[in-house]
């Protein structure tokens, strides 16, 4: 059922992410970012089997579908994995119940501030709860609320993004929050950056884009090929053309659909100004433009008309690889970076 986990040779790397590994119950303190339609049983179990921590993306699943996905993942791995729940889901209480009933060890609450009742219920059941902290103030509030670990995700990430870069969030939050493990996410595609954040005090990292082109990922070959061809600058945040009509910021690869979205906004807003549509109708027309677009791209391979959600680290995705090979490469890079740091310190000590 389980493959051999990636080997960590560096004592320094083991020491730096020991807290994160203990919290996750893994050999590597690397979480797989929950990507809708991508982070399902095959990829999640592959990440966990290789020593990382896979996280199922519940997305819009109902309770029965989530229960089936948890069971299918557990049939593929006996190692720890988690479930990502969107706090705005209309059936959040039922989904929390599914996670408790299936004894999911870790639940990530995403998409907004976690409801205190859901947090308390999960913790009573012995489930470890993670949440996203977009500011140091909210991070401290979440710790007081009883959150067991934090994820800080910067603007460089794929999908729905906040306005602040990962490097700034790390500087603001890592020195201030020591009570719980903090995992850094957004724009991480190389082991050297993992090492840097660990040296800053992170317990580990979360990575999504890097795993889209894993062999075990069920993403359509055309979707994977778009990632392999892309550079960092191709992953852009959705454009809002009028402040009166809010567009939720989403980072994705530019394609025909992203260009058409801008045109659609202009057309819809012009019709609203001409009195041909109500404000509510115009807002819905803009909001619904992307309905089903992610599934079209990920599963059906429509990379021109679908949504290609990707982080800026997409430029470091060069080929399709087994998940274990991706993790081994990241660990090797992190170990090499830490060895350079140790060598530099020895040189400084000898010179001084």
Sign of CA dihedral 124, 96, 34, 2: positive
Residue 3 is predicted with a pLDDT of 76
pLDDT, tens only, 92-125? 999 999 999 999 999 999 999 999 999 999 999 9
Nearest to 219 by CA among 312, 333, 317: 317
The pTM (predicted TM-score) of the whole model is 0.95
Confidence label for 350 from pLDDT (cuts 50, 70 and 90):
confident
Instruction: Using a pLDDT cut of 90, give the percent of the chain over it.
Output: 95
Confidence label for 345 from pLDDT (cuts 50, 70 and 90):
confident
Confidence label for 309 from pLDDT (cuts 50, 70 and 90):
very high
Confidence label for 342 from pLDDT (cuts 50, 70 and 90):
confident
Residue 160, by phi and psi: left (phi above 0), alpha (psi -120 to 50) or beta?
Answer: beta
* Domains of the chain, earliest start first: 11-211 (3.20.20.70), 221-312 (no CATH)
Whether 87 has a pLDDT exceeding 90, the answer reads yes
Confidence label for 343 from pLDDT (cuts 50, 70 and 90):
confident
Whether 2 has a pLDDT exceeding 60, the answer reads no
Q: How far is CA 247 from the centre of its chain?
A: 21
Whether 251 has a pLDDT exceeding 70, the answer reads yes
Q: What is the dihedral of CA 85, 90, 93, 98, to 10 degrees?
A: -60
């Amino acid at each position: 059922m389980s493959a051999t986990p990636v080997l960590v040779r560096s004592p320094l790397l083991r020491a730096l992410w020991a807290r994160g590994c203990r919290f996750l119950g893994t050999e590597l303190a690397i979480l797989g970012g929950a990507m809708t339609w991508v982070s399902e049983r095959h990829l999640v179990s592959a990440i966990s089997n290789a020593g990382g921590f896979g996280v199922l993306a519940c997305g819009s699943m109902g309770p029965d579908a989530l229960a089936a996905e948890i069971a299918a993942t557990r049939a593929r791995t006996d190692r720890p994995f988690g479930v990502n729940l969107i706090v705005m889901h209309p059936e959040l209480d039922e989904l929390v119940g599914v996670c408790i009933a299936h004894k999911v060890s870790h639940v990530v609450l995403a998409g907004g501030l976690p409801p205190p009742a859901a947090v308390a219920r999960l913790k009573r059941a012995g489930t470890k709860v993670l949440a996203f902290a977009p500011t140091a103030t909210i991070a401290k509030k979440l710790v007081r609320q009883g959150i067991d670990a934090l994820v800080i995700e910067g603007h460089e990430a794929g999908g729905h993004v906040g306005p602040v870069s990962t490097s700034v969030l790390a500087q603001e939050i890592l020195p201030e929050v020591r009570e719980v493990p903090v995992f850094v996410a957004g724009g991480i595609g190389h082991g050297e950056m993992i090492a840097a954040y660990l040296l800053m005090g992170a317990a580990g990292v979360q990575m999504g884009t890097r795993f889209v082109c894993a062999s075990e990922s069920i993403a359509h070959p055309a979707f994977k090929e778009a990632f392999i061809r892309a550079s960092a600058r191709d992953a852009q945040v959705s454009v809002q053309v009028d402040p009166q009509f809010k567009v939720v910021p989403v980072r994705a690869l530019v394609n025909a659909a992203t260009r058409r979205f801008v045109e659609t906004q202009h057309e819809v807003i012009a019709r609203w100004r001409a009195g041909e549509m109500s404000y509510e109708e115009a807002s819905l027309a803009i909001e619904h433009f992307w309905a089903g677009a992610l599934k079209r791209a990920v599963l059906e391979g429509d990379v021109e008309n679908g949504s290609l959600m990707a982080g800026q680290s997409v430029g470091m995705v060069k080929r399709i690889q087994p998940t274990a090979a991706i993790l081994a490469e990241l660990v090797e890079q992190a170990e090499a970076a830490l060895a350079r740091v140790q060598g530099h310190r020895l040189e400084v000590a000898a010179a001084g």
